Chains A and B, each alone.
Chain A
Amino acid sequence: MAHHLEGSRNSCALHGALQLFEAIDGVVPVIHSTSGCGVQHYLGVTRMSGGNDPFGSPPVSSSNIGQKHVVFGGGSRLREQLKNTVKVVQADLYAIVTGCSTEMVGDDIAAMAREGRDQNWPVIYTNTPGFSGDVHHGYHLAVKALIEQLPDIWKERDKVPSGLVNIWGIIPNQDPFWRGNLQELGRLLEGIGLVPNLLLGSEQSVASWQQIPGAVLNLVLSHWGELPARLLADRYATPSITLDSLPIGTAISTLLRRLTELLKLDTIRTEAFISREESRLNFQFARLADIYFHAGFQREFVLVGESAQVVAIGEFLGKSLGLLPRTLIITDNPPDSVHQSLITRLASIVPGYDTEVIFSEDRTDITEFIRASAAQLVLGSSLEREVSEESGVPFFALSFPLADRIVLERSYAGYRGATTLLEDIGTAILAFNRDCHLC
């Protein structure tokens, strides 16, 4: 049954595509839509992700169409905008993305991109009206456009380093910790002798995307990464490993061993690396023991976030730290086909303990589930702050939208991300306990 959604955290497809393009050095997106689309992307998405503004302010090229262009078609406005953009900013790639209005009208975007290419401008395009789907769909569309259209623009391929691994499924800003997480993953892959092709974030440019076909493996870290892996398997027969998430803590060791085996890497090197990392982490766990009991870390928690985050953080807290996952709320609308496997996986984090797994992106519902859970710790987005305060339980914001934290390079992935997550959640619990004593 249709029902209205309140405070959804999944923005539109256009914004998903922009997230991706803005995360690649040298790519300049050109929005073909009404002016509000670009503004909304900034106000409602980039700024709401731990201050992850791409350039500090939102200078994005947009055709800002008006009624005239709706009636007569906006093709010529886009042509002009593209021309002006090329004049003003030198880019390695211009990516045309569209919004609802221009798609309703049916402007021929492909033709405009073709015209650009005829002038030797590197232009790709993708039709991303908000009505076609949400931010995750937009990520798919943008990735698909790059995979399918880049080879026509750059016919020559650079030499690709051996052991290159492409990373998929982490959506910039939709995961506020995407930069730090990718960096940590990169460090781990290098640690076992692989060459990470992170594709997004600092120093990741169009050149990184050109290397995709030469990779030995596609590493998929959420359901949203399955489509690119499938496209690449079809085109280049690249094998892939698909995980529900990027693991946190010692759980990442399993992935490193699996990669070592599959790609026939140096086992001794991998084991040495793992042992170094794990002993560092175990040392920290040991140091934490006293305060863990003293402050009452072990408690029931609610976790609200994208499926990949819920899996990674939920398992880390439940399996490695002994916290109890009362209610896990998945907000990214993963395809129905994966619901059951997610439920099975998440419900058994702590054997014998009853964990509730919920799929919802509705703030009102989520608030109700949190109230009903009676959990003693709430981990979610800034949207969950209110209900946590009202319920009088400690709260820590770690999923999108993240309005009241600054996230620059913080990571909640791998070994180091485990440390950071411990520090942050621990601090939140201590601060809460202190405030309680004071009042």
Chain B
Amino acid sequence: MSEKIGKHIAIYGKGGIGKSTTASNISAALTDSGYRVIQIGCDPKSDSTTILRGGNDLPTVLDTLREQSKLRIEDISAIGFGGVLCIEAGGPVPGVGCAGRGINAAVELLQELNVFDEFKPDFVLYDVLGDVVCGGFAVPIRDGLADRAFVVTSSDFMAIFAANNLFKAVNKYAPSGGARLGGVIANSILAAYAPELIDDFAEKTGTNVIGYVPRSLVVAQSELYGKTVIEAAPQSEQAQVYRNLAKYIDENEDSVIPKPLNSPELKKWAREWGDRIFEVETGVVHEMASI
């Protein structure tokens, strides 16, 4: 592989947790700071860059590949907000074919097309489907494509579970040149206990939380306009949260190899938190409890 151009970052997390929203806002914030950014949606849902493009249609790499054998970057990309180059890998219809292999094929094609050499990005964001279900979805973190992976999670157990699975994958591939973990992005923070729960999980797994994104109506509203918060409500507090995330990713190169919990540990950890939340909701106060 030729020398890597730009910093390559992969965003993982459970489906619907806010990966695309977060990634798009980070991309938007990075271009706002004058960087050249490519965002690649690696999810058969193909909606990673929607809010960067005002909701316009963008043919996916795989759909285009299916129709024609020779393709150019222009066929499969669109320039979005602030000049972000938007690409959607795409995938098969649900229940047919192999989406994992699709991600693989799309990423290979982008390399063949010299997208990175031509666009000369400062940042490349891979927005990858939730659970690392099979080898195909591990491609961005496995083959040295991305340097760092970030995981988006809420305080829901299922989201934490998916994050822990990603840690397992990073843990497996990092020693042989795969991506390391840049950190945890806590999203949709609403309940009072949520930050502490996610902090605790990060601590137990030897990782750190790089930002807390509140659950906010501004996000929903901006999405309805087909825009990122950065574009639709640049003055909002929410926009500042995303800018801070972008700033962290830009200025901070720290990364770790996480120590995922095994399943009994994870179950035990979850049960303890279950008890604590119940107590909080019902007003039991323990000494030293800081919630």
Show the binding face of A for B, using Cβ within 8 Å: 67-75, 104-107
For the complex with contacts A72-B96, A72-B97, A105-B101, 7 further pairs of A-B residues with Cβ separation under 8 Å are A69-B97, A71-B62, A71-B91, A71-B99, A71-B101, A72-B62, A107-B96
* A70/B65 in contact, CB under 8 A: no
CB neighbours of B102 from chain A (8 A): 71-72
B105 proximal to A (CB < 8 A): yes
CB < 8 Å neighbour of A73 from B65, B97, B105: B97
B234 proximal to A (CB < 8 A): no
Q: How many A-B residue pairs have CB under 8 A?
A: 37
Identify the closest chain A residue to B134 (Cβ).
Answer: A104
B98 proximal to A (CB < 8 A): yes
Show the binding face of B for A, using Cβ within 8 Å: 62, 65-66, 91-93, 96-99, 101-102, 105
Ordered by A's residue number, 22 sampled pairs between the chains whose C-beta atoms are within 8 Å are A67-B101, A67-B105, A68-B65, A68-B66, A69-B97, A70-B97, A71-B62, A71-B91, A71-B92, A71-B97, A71-B99, A71-B102, A71-B105, A72-B62, A72-B93, A72-B96, A72-B97, A73-B97, A74-B97, A75-B96, A105-B97, A105-B101
CB neighbours of B92 from chain A (8 A): 71-73
C-alpha gap A73/B66 in the complex (Å) = 11
C-alpha gap A74/B92 in the complex (Å) = 11
* B101/A70 in contact, CB under 8 A: yes
**A139 CB, min distance to chain B CBs, angstroms:** 29
**A298 CB, min distance to chain B CBs, angstroms:** 59
CB < 8 Å neighbour of A105 from B91, B93, B98: B98
3 smallest beta-carbon distances between A and B, as pairs: A73-B96, A73-B97, A71-B102
**A388 CB, min distance to chain B CBs, angstroms:** 44
C-alpha gap A69/B285 in the complex (Å) = 60
CB neighbours of A68 from chain B (8 A): 65-66
C-alpha gap A368/B105 in the complex (Å) = 45
C-alpha gap A75/B96 in the complex (Å) = 9
C-alpha gap A105/B92 in the complex (Å) = 11
**A230 CB, min distance to chain B CBs, angstroms:** 35
C-alpha gap A71/B93 in the complex (Å) = 10
CB neighbours of B65 from chain A (8 A): 68
**A107 CB, min distance to chain B CBs, angstroms:** 8
CB neighbours of B99 from chain A (8 A): 71
**A97 CB, min distance to chain B CBs, angstroms:** 20
C-alpha gap A72/B97 in the complex (Å) = 4
CB neighbours of A104 from chain B (8 A): 98
C-alpha gap A246/B142 in the complex (Å) = 54
* B98/A70 in contact, CB under 8 A: yes
C-alpha gap A409/B96 in the complex (Å) = 46
C-alpha gap A69/B96 in the complex (Å) = 10
C-alpha gap A105/B102 in the complex (Å) = 11
Identify the closest chain A residue to B136 (Cβ).
Answer: A71
C-alpha gap A70/B105 in the complex (Å) = 10
* B105/A72 in contact, CB under 8 A: no
Identify the closest chain A residue to B96 (Cβ).
Answer: A73
C-alpha gap A107/B97 in the complex (Å) = 7
**A101 CB, min distance to chain B CBs, angstroms:** 9
**B110 CB, min distance to chain A CBs, angstroms:** 15
Identify the closest chain A residue to B62 (Cβ).
Answer: A71
CB neighbours of A106 from chain B (8 A): 98
C-alpha gap A72/B105 in the complex (Å) = 11
CB neighbours of A67 from chain B (8 A): 101, 105
C-alpha gap A229/B142 in the complex (Å) = 49
CB neighbours of A70 from chain B (8 A): 97-98, 101
**A76 CB, min distance to chain B CBs, angstroms:** 9
C-alpha gap A105/B96 in the complex (Å) = 8
**A338 CB, min distance to chain B CBs, angstroms:** 37
Identify the closest chain A residue to B65 (Cβ).
Answer: A68
Identify the closest chain A residue to B90 (Cβ).
Answer: A71
**B113 CB, min distance to chain A CBs, angstroms:** 16
C-alpha gap A104/B101 in the complex (Å) = 10
C-alpha gap A73/B95 in the complex (Å) = 9
CB neighbours of A71 from chain B (8 A): 62, 91-92, 97-99, 101-102, 105
C-alpha gap A293/B91 in the complex (Å) = 74
C-alpha gap A67/B69 in the complex (Å) = 12
C-alpha gap A105/B98 in the complex (Å) = 5
C-alpha gap A158/B97 in the complex (Å) = 42
C-alpha gap A76/B228 in the complex (Å) = 39
**B93 CB, min distance to chain A CBs, angstroms:** 8
C-alpha gap A74/B98 in the complex (Å) = 10
CB neighbours of A105 from chain B (8 A): 97-98, 101
